[in-house]
Amino acid sequence: MTAGSVAVGGGFNGSVRDQMSPSLQRRLAAEEAAEAREAAQVLRDREAVADELHSRNLVSAIALAQNAGEYVDIARAMRGEGIGHTKAEFLQMRSDAMDLEDMHSAAEDARAFRRWQLQRSDAMSADQTPMSAEEREADQKLLARGRQVQARRRELRQATADAVNTVYDRWISPRGGRR
């Protein structure tokens, strides 16, 4: 059988095309040629879209690598020899990053353990030494200063409340404002 011929069973014994009239064969050949042209055009369109997507992806990959601070050999990238790291380089880089994270985590754990040891040591200290005269005097001065600060804060709160009441009584209340 030839390409484009159809084998039909059921008693026809051979190609149906041979049994067609010449005008029907010409019409069928014309339709098959049109379908072949359409299929070729669809294939060319798909290839053009694929090329465009490849170009966009290449430009995006170069931009990403450059934004990440990597050196990109543009000529090498355009030849399709790759951008950025090889798989082995990437795996090594990620492994190194994870090792660094592990070291930071271990150092933080060690610092936290040392803080806990110091706090526990201070809490378990049995130092019952009475305050010296200088320590008692410094303690009394600190308490007196704290009382002064509290008194000043009370004065400021009262002055603020008085100012708000004055503004309300002078400006808002005469105009029918509500409290």
The residue among 121 and 99 whose pLDDT is bigger is 99
Q: How confident is the model over 101-110, as pLDDT tens digits?
A: 999 999 999 9
- The proportion of the chain whose per-residue pLDDT surpasses 70, expressed as a percent, equals 84
Whether residue 101 sits in one domain with residue 61: no
**Residue 25 to residues 11, 16, 17, 37: CA-CA distances in angstroms?**
21, 10, 7, 18
Regarding whether 157 and 115 lie in a shared domain, the answer is no
137 & 104 share domain: no
Residues 75, 104, single domain; the answer is no
Quick one: pLDDT at residue 126?
66
Give the N- to C-terminal CA distance of the chain in Å, as an integer.
103
Give me the pLDDT at residue 6, please. Answer: 57
In a domain, 93, yes or no: yes
Is residue 11 in some structural domain?
Answer: no
Residue 1 belongs to a domain = no
Both 57 and 80 in one domain: the answer is yes
Residue 4 placed within a domain: no
> Which segments within 72-175 are labelled E, that is strand?
none
What CA–CA distance (Å, rounded) separates 78 from 61? 11
pLDDT score at 112: 93
| Count of domains observed in the chain | 3
Alpha-carbon dihedral 28, 30, 36, 38, rounded to 10 degrees = -120
- Segments forming the whole domain that contains residue 67: 19-84
Whether 42 maps to a domain, the answer reads yes
User: Looking at the predicted structure, is the pLDDT value of residue 134 above 90?
Assistant: yes
